[in-house]
Structure 1
Amino acid sequence: MVDSSRLNIRTSDIRACRFFFKYIQNNIPQSRHLVFDDNNPDTPLSCRIINDALEIYLPDSQTRQTFIRGMELALSTTILADKNFVWLESDTRATFWMWGRLCLDEKCNQSINKELSNNVYTFWYRDFKLPDTPSSHHERFTYIVAFIDYLCMNTANTPAIRCWLTANLNLWRKHAINLNRLKWLNPDDSDNCIWAYRSLKKYQQDYHTEESNPLNPVTLPSPVNSEEAFHTFYALLDLWEIGNDTQTKAIAKLNKAFYQKTFRQKQAARKGREELSDEHVKHLAFLVNYYRSDKISVIEMLIDDRVRGINAKIEAKQIRQRYP
């Protein structure tokens, strides 16, 4: 990792870059004004910034080499190994659950304080100012790893953090056995994913309690696409802090609503589509509101527009045939 001939840092690990810069700022006070993007995937650029700082503040070769060796040793004893995060990286649902707890759950943060014997309550995720609107599994996983790295660097108690993370793994294992999974919901069905997400969100709002609780209803960022809607739906279930009976009733209502919706769609298909689908009913209502008219007038207007368009095409074709 260290090029002894040039006394430079060379690494492709974003976690190492993050640690090195933090270490430099902690141990070289003059460098604390420097700005560094802790999550920049461009590690060659990060290395250049780190090496520039080392050259400026440690011009003596021997001093710099000693500093780098100490920095590498500190890295190996401070940052948790990648193997500690495999269970999160390979499980989208576990990652969303973990990220949601870190970002929203005060009890989760309190468990960190307890493990660290920290008597002053600290909401660590907020203190580290990590993003609260990730839009993919990769981003959520990245922020969790960054969070753990910051914890280790700021508390200097890596063994306690490792124990805390292992306890969360064991909690997830226990939790995963009883996870709700809907047979009819899959990430490839975009319409149902979005419908399920919106329906569950509404159910949670209906069960909203008076007290301010970010886990009832669960206040997750809105999904940016149908695949994220699928993952967010299950995160809403996994993080929902409410009695099992209430959650079971909500899932039963959701299943019933889905099968009723499917039944109506099949009926409409058998009738030769004599009725509008739910989606087109909503679109028609939007047009009625937009044009400030009634349903029949809007339908007649759309028919007239389409007929005029077809007639115009027919006339144009006849003119071309008449005058080739």
Structure 2
Amino acid sequence: MFDVNYVFKYNSLSEHDINNLRNSKLFLRTATKFNDVFDSTPYYSEEIFLKMLKNHVDEFGMNIPGMRNFTDLSYQDQFEKFKLYFRNNYDSTLKDSGLITCFSKASNNNIMWVRYAKEYEGAIFVYDKDKLKKSAIDNLMDLKRKGLFNIPDNVLSRGVCLEAVKYTEFRADISSELEETLKFVSKHGYINDLSDPKYKEVHMDDQEFNGVTNKMFFYKTKEWEYEKEVRLVIHNYFPEKAIPHTDEGKSLLLTIKPEAVILGFKTPQTIVKKVINICKEQNISMYGSGPYYFDRKCVIKVEPLKNQFINEMLK
């Protein structure tokens, strides 16, 4: 029914989801808000961490919010507090470096319906992968035209990635990539403007860039394998992401209409009516989903909504 060029976003049909459907919006956010504590936190060695810590202390000292509260501690204990603060802050920075929205390869995943679509009271929004990627790139180019950031077009375009998640026993290791970054920072300092000529020294070709992006955002542990996840990731170029303890720069809305909506078999009629009206107005295909009991296997069937059902729901 749907070929491999489509991906499926399970949702609970909350008021937020319905408004996004009505307004053709797709919400992305950073992994700090995700339910997996290891999402977008690749591994790096303690040796690399201590090098980064030394580099930071040499340049900025050990100033952290609330440090005066630790003055009764020994210097060693103060340093241990600072190490923990620095590690947590750096890991949060990694999580905030990508804006993400998640899909599944499967439109008939029973566990996904239960966990993410309110036990069949929600729906699946179906998206075309090519249109998703184009929408993301167009959105970034529009924000650049509005003066939000000064980043070369080719850097913006390749910062949009749509790929399947890899499920592994171990977290991806970015120690070598961080070591290269440390060498660059030691030589040039931090670069905030990617149009800076010095950036060319660490400019990666597309294959290298995709490799780092994969390690950052597309690895999850095997316990999540049932999701069969595909995710859209946009590198977070928003300057506000550097403001701690805020949500500034940590979410983004894309403009894109789903190709279809698949309703769960337990979706309340009041919600079904809202969704059908939106789909009719916007020419979005409508399907229904539910268990098929005339098979020895556990089958979730997806079928187009019949006109008789649609008319009954609109009464």
TM-score normalized by the length of structure 2: 0.25
TM-score normalized by the length of structure 1: 0.24
* Higher-strand-fraction structure: 2
Tell me which structure has the larger Cα radius of gyration: 1
